[in-house]
Structure 1
Amino acid sequence: MRFLTIGGIKMKPSYQDALAYYGVNGAHPGGLSLTRYLLQQEKITSATSLLDAGCGTGQTSAFIKKHYPCSVTSIDLHPTMVKRAASRFHKENLPINLVQGSIEKLPFPDGSFDIILVESVLIFTDIRHSLKELKRVLKPNGVVLALEMTSERELTPLEQNNMRSVYGIEKVYSEGEWVHNLAAAGFRNVEIKLSHTVYSHMFANIEVEEEEMDVHVTRNLEMENKLTEHAHILYTYGNIIGYRVYRATL
């Protein structure tokens, strides 16, 4: 695993580095069970083109290709995630178009996809760019399904700083801010399909599959510490942060 080096100084690993190093599948709330539920609400046929934006290890993309007749394109920026996804698709003999690239500058023509699925990814980007890019590559009447971390109230500067230090994000947006930014990017219809805090999700009787991890990698304390920091955030702020599933159309 390579770390970013600036001026000869090795930078600490990011949360995404830790997920990639250990090959964590379904890191978003609800895991694959929630993804399955959301997809069941959509009309997906052999004519549907679907983009898994921020595909990670490729778990969701693989599930979709196995259970739906649509074409699937997967993109992720992290090189280790792309390698893991490529290995998964090869082993399972799945014809999925896998691309390494940024959601902030998608390497696809305008109007390429009918459905774009984004699972806990946008918050790690500059949403002023990434939301406009999703809109650009979406076909008329297309659908974006975005599952994103959301604050239940305005967070204090200290709380936002704590989030920023663990996740390397600009901020945790409220539901209203997410809806506003989606509208500002050009989406006409924005629905809230599901809403939970971290704590309410735990007690909502939602079927949750265990997060799978690669047990064959060498133990790395820096990576483990980053995952521990994430767990601490969930425990400390479980009543004031959560997630929403935003369904947006053109």
Structure 2
Amino acid sequence: MRFGYQDALAYGGVTEAHPGGFSLTKRILKEEGIRPGATVLDAGCGMGLTSAYLASEFNCKVYAVDAHPLMLKHASARVKKEKLPVKVLKGNIENLPFPDDSFDYVVTESATIFTNISNTLAEYFRVLKPSGVLIATELCCEAPLQKDEEEKIKRFYKMGKIPTEKEWYSALAGLGFTNIDVLKSSSILQELQSYQVDFDKEAKTVRLDPAIEEILNEHSLLMMEYAEELGYRVFRCVKK
């Protein structure tokens, strides 16, 4: 089997790969003050850490969607162990398996960037109820990259264009999202001083496949190499 970055996260038991980590997730969601009973989609749920937090902390109805089978397995095991009413579903966030106007919130963390961004943002808009809220934490280009540098990053992560903050904003506004705010803005360089990747001890294998270790190491090296050129934003916006 030829592993990619997403496989490395799943087999390596990485619970919070997005910049800012789970501490940022908790802060943003607490400030949002999601009401009990709200319907929330965790789009690209990974190993289910955020989904479990949403259900336990806010008593809301959570749907967790991811395309990676092992991620889904870990997410299902987590919510079962914690006895949480989270529905874990296999799905492509570019073509969500839900009717229009289904959710009060869509929460997504470093998932949209690995898809066709236009298609995925349009799906978030479609499944949100009128006045529904999107909270998205996504990779952002802070400074221009040379063509070969950008291609190197895109090839490793199997992603397309890395948008700037302005480009993310334009994409969201173009779909009809309003009240677009940036709740958190940081470069990778600023994050490296305080952020530490956490691992799920139960999910992580005792001895990682060398290919998985190599991918995780390469990821760390890329983040250090382009720590000034790359960053992230947490966007909050509302469906008209």
Check whether TM > 0.5: yes
Structure 1 Cα separation of the partners of residues 130 and 189 of structure 2? 37
| Equivalent residue in structure 1 for 2:139, among 138, 149, 159 | 149
Show the counterpart of 1:9: none
Which ranges in structure 1 are unaligned for 5 or more consecutive residues?
Answer: 4-11
| Equivalent residue in structure 2 for 1:174, among 164, 189, 205 | 164
Contact kept in structure 2, 1:195 and 1:245, CA below 8 Å: yes
Alignment of 1:1-250 (within 5 A): 3=1, 12-203=2-193, 208=195, 210-213=197-200, 214-250=203-239
1:14 is displaced (CA, Å) by 1.1
Contact kept in structure 1, 2:143 and 2:228, CA below 8 Å: no
Helix, strand or coil at the partner of 1:26: coil
Contact kept in structure 2, 1:55 and 1:76, CA below 8 Å: yes
Paired residue type of 1:65: A
1:154 is displaced (CA, Å) by 2.6
Contact kept in structure 2, 1:189 and 1:248, CA below 8 Å: yes
Paired residue type of 1:121: A
Paired residue type of 1:62: A
1:219 is displaced (CA, Å) by 2.3
Deviations 1:25-60 (A, max 9, x none): 011112111001111121312231111111101011
Helix, strand or coil at the partner of 2:99: coil
Structure 1 Cα separation of the partners of residues 177 and 95 of structure 2? 18
Structure 1 Cα separation of the partners of residues 148 and 29 of structure 2? 37
1:218 is displaced (CA, Å) by 4.1
Structure 1 Cα separation of the partners of residues 197 and 227 of structure 2? 19
Helix, strand or coil at the partner of 2:166: helix
Structure 2 Cα separation of the partners of residues 34 and 13 of structure 1? 29
Deviations 1:194-219 (A, max 9, x none): 1100111234x6xx565114443542
Contact kept in structure 2, 1:132 and 1:186, CA below 8 Å: no
Contact kept in structure 1, 2:13 and 2:205, CA below 8 Å: no
Q: Normalising by the residue count of structure 1, what TM-score does the alignment of the two structures yield?
A: 0.90
Give the total of aligned pairs. Answer: 237
Helix, strand or coil at the partner of 2:85: coil
Paired residue type of 1:219: L
